[in-house]
């Protein structure tokens, strides 16, 4: 039987993502402040509904809560918005690192597969650094935490593929965000790409942390079967 989180909350989450991405080119503050956090809030609701350990659920709720806070601040027309947003997402990555460390297994092949990611991070920062100005040090610290989060994601035992993809998409979304903020001067089509990558990353991370592979396949099969019958 299809569980309530997959039957109701996941479709609502996907619908809210599609709605926000579709409207992003046409809306401004304060609508962006209202609509942008909704998918993350629904992922928090999904986390509350699923059956997983209390500690994992609590940490994941904190990670998503910090993300929601960062999302809100990054839409506000105030001077400290970017600084507070960076701090919030640093807290997000610290919480994800804590989560991953509880299910980690260091292996040579995992370390080797992470090397291209590390090269990408170093080249990206080298490219961005001339444009960062006074934000160079905060961005460097943030990037170190983000890279550590991705590294830990590559070492997890359960749902390693989904976790890796989610972490890499998070990294990619932040790189494109940096391009948009410091190089492209807030290009709207690029903003749509950023949010698509970001929401997909968060979705994959939440599902991979809370669900087993067998559970995911079973629930998705039931969901698609229900859609066909409808």
pLDDT tens, residue by residue, 151-166: 999 988 876 789 999 9
User: How far is the C-alpha of 150 from the C-alpha of 133, rounded, in Å?
Assistant: 26
Question: What's the pLDDT score for residue 51?
Answer: 83
Percentage with pLDDT > 90 across the chain: 69
Rounded to two decimals, the pTM is 0.90
For residue 170, name the pLDDT band (cuts at 50, 70, 90).
very high
Say which residue, 109 or 204, is predicted with more confidence. 204
Task: Provide mean pLDDT across the span 82-89.
Answer: 96
Q: Which residue has the higher pLDDT, 65 or 49?
A: 65
End-to-end CA distance of the chain: 16
pLDDT for res 126: 95
Closest to 8 measured CA to CA, from 35, 48, 37: 48
- At CA 9, angle to CA 7 and CA 15, rounded to 5? 100
Q: Count the alpha carbons within 13 Å of 176 in the hemisphere toward its beta carbon.
A: 18
Q: Which tokens is 108 given?
A: 């040579």
5 or 70: which leads in pLDDT: 70
How far is Cα of residue 200 from the mean position of the Cα atoms in its chain?
7
Q: Give the pLDDT mean for 131-143.
A: 94
pLDDT exceeds cutoff 70 at 217: no
Q: Which residues pair with 104 in a beta bridge?
A: 156
Does the bond joining 80 to the residue before it have cis omega, within 30 degrees of 0?
no
Hey, CA dihedral for 117, 201, 83, 21, is it positive or negative? positive
- The lowest-confidence range among 64-68, 90-94, 99-103, 176-180 is 99-103
Q: Among 10-19, 203-212, 216-225, where is mean pLDDT lowest?
A: 216-225
Domain ranges of the chain: 4-229
Residue 1: per-residue pLDDT? 39
pLDDT tens digits for range 182-211: 998 777 789 999 999 999 999 999 998 987
**What is the structure's pLDDT at 2?**
44
DSSP string, the chain: ---HIIIIIHHHHHHHHHHHHHHTTT--TTHHHHHTTHHHHHHHHHHHHS---HHHHHHHHHHHHHHHHHHHHTTS-STTHHHHHHHHHHHHHHHHHHHHHTTB---HHHHHHHHHHHHHHHHHHHHHHHHHGGGHHHHHHHHHHHHHHHHHHTTBSTTHHHHHHHHHHHHHHHHHHHHHHHTSSS-HHHHHHHHHHHHHHHHHHHHHHH--HHHHHHHHHHHHHHHHH-
Q: What is the mean pLDDT of residues 25-51?
A: 93
The confidence band for 219, taking pLDDT boundaries of 50, 70 and 90, is low
The confidence band for 7, taking pLDDT boundaries of 50, 70 and 90, is confident
């Amino acid at each position: 039987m299809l569980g309530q989180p997959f039957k109701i909350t996941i479709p609502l989450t996907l619908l809210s993502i599609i709605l926000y991405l579709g409207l992003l080119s046409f809306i401004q503050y304060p609508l962006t402040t209202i609509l942008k956090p909704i998918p993350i809030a629904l992922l928090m609701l999904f986390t509350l509904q699923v059956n997983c350990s209390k500690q994992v659920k609590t940490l994941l709720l904190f990670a998503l809560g910090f993300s929601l806070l960062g999302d809100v601040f990054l839409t506000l027309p105030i001077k400290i918005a970017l600084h507070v947003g960076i701090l919030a997402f640093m807290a997000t990555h610290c919480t994800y690192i804590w989560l991953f460390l509880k299910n980690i297994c260091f292996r040579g092949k995992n370390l080797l597969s992470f090397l291209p990611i590390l090269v990408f991070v170093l080249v990206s920062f080298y490219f961005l650094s001339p444009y960062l100005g006074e934000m160079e040090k905060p961005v460097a610290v943030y990037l170190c935490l983000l890279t550590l989060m991705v590294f830990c994601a590559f070492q997890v035992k359960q749902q390693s593929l989904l976790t890796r993809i989610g972490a890499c998409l998070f990294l990619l979304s932040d790189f494109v965000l940096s391009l948009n903020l410091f190089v492209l001067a807030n290009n709207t089509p690029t903003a749509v790409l950023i949010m698509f990558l970001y929401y997909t990353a968060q979705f994959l991370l939440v599902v991979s942390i809370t669900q087993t592979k067998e559970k995911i396949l079973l629930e998705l099969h039931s969901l698609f079967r229900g859609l066909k019958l409808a």
